[in-house]
Amino acid sequence: MKASELRAKSADELNNELVELRRAQFSLRMQLATQQLNKADQLGKVRKDIARVNTVLAEKAKQA
């Protein structure tokens, strides 16, 4: 997910994306805790995507 793609979305779409990413992060953390996580790098990717969405949301809030 690129920041340019996120900037094209509305604030509501970004909030929905953030909720989905947080659910994915929770699921990955549970898989890690139960040793069922196959791709350990997914956790880092989801964290970075959450940070990107939060950054774009902050930019949009600052513009408004």
Task: Kindly give the confidence (pLDDT) of every residue in the chain, 64 residues in length, as a single tens digit, with 9 standing for 90 and above.
Answer: 788 999 999 999 999 999 999 999 999 999 999 999 999 899 999 999 999 999 999 999 999 8
Separation in Å, CA 22 to CA 31, 47, 61, 63, 64 = 14, 9, 20, 25, 25
What are the structural domains, with CATH classification, of the chain?
3-63 (1.10.287.310)
pTM score of the predicted model? 0.92
Residue 41 to residue 39: CA distance in whole angstroms:
5
